[in-house]
Amino acid sequence: MKKPFEITDFTADHIEGAVLLSQAAGWAHGYKDWEMLLRLSTGRIAICDSHVVGTGFRMDFGPNLSALNMIIVSENMRSQGLGRSLMLSLMQSDSDRAYRLIATRKGRPLYEKLGFEEVDQLVTVRGLLEYVPLPSKAHNFENCDRNGLVQLESASFGGYRAAVVDWLLANAKLAVVRDQGVVQGFAARRLFGQGYVIGPVVTGNPDHAKALITHLVQDIKGDLVRLDVTNASELTPWLQTLGLSIVDAPPVMQRGVAHLSANRKAVFNQALG
């Protein structure tokens, strides 16, 4: 029997209910993660009997590309069209805009019906950091690096990402690789779940990617660490030598045309790509 639901704008008052929903789905997102998403994105929420039963967010990166994220439907509300309704309320009628998301196994059939196709694949690695390599050529972020980070992040994603970079500057530890004073790559580390997540990692040089990650793990040996690396990054075997294990391989899906660079070795997170 179908239950009636209402879809409305996500506000700060809905965060506690959203945390319960994501926890029930087995996701590691806590209160601060939802706060971050609300700050950077436009959210929609589904309410049934005064309970949060569905969520979805959209963040625009310039005029031609948006990321859809946190599409969650309560277990007892599935197969009732709620997921589709949330997606359509987020996409609206922007026929010329491209949409990108990172799919779950359960969500993929719906996204395919809505015209999304797989354009890349991630490899999620996670575990206790058992081995920390010796430091290499990466350095700490400096304020003068900010514009370079925005350029690298935006070019690698295919849309303007200044808001994401500025959030990272305030909430994460960042490492950079420079050549004659010019930033050639960067990576970020922040608290997530019961440990840390490292991402994005943006560089065209695989050795620089390892150097950036190495710089960020110097003080967290023995802690829980997660990365969502691209399948083409070739970082997975090296990350496994640090004690991390493959736990998932979600597809990156897209509707419409938008560039995604090979320089994107690891994503910010599965919500914002």
113 domain residue, yes or no: no
Across residues 158-168, what is the average pLDDT? 93
- Which whole number is the average pLDDT over 259-269? 89
259 and 137: one domain?
Answer: yes
Q: What is the dihedral of CA 81, 83, 85, 86, to 10 degrees?
A: 160
pLDDT tens across 177-193, in order? 998 888 999 999 999 88
179 and 242 share one domain: yes
pTM of the model: 0.90
Residues 89 and 129 in one domain: no
CATH number for the domain spanning 188: value is: 3.40.630.30
Domain-embedded: residue 107: no
Rounded Cα–Cα distance for residues 124 and 226 (Å)? 7
In a domain, 47, yes or no: yes
Whether 109 is covered by a domain: the verdict is no
Residue 204 forms part of a structural domain: yes
Domain assignment present for residue 118? The answer is: no
Domain boundary among 43, 76, 96: 96
How far apart (Å, rounded) are the C-alpha atoms in residues 161 and 198? 17
Residues 193-252 have pLDDT tens digits of: 889 999 999 999 999 999 999 999 999 999 999 999 998 999 999 999 999 999 999 999
| Domains identified in the chain, total number | 2
Which single residue is written with the structure tokens 């620089």? 208
Residue 129 and residue 87 in one domain? no
How far apart CA 59 and CA 67 sit, in angstroms, is 5
- List, in order, residues 6 or more apart from 238 with CB less than 8 Å away: 210
Burial class (CB in 10 A: 0-12, 13-18, 19+), 161: buried
Question: 183 is in which domain, residue-wise?
Answer: 124-266
3-state SS class at 144: helix
Q: Confirm whether 40 is domain-assigned.
A: yes
Residues ≥6 apart with Cβ < 8 Å to 111: 87, 101, 103, 253
What confidence tier does 1 reach under pLDDT thresholds 50, 70, 90? low
Closest CA to 119 of 101, 137, 136: 101
Which of 76, 96, 116 is where one domain is finished?
A: 96
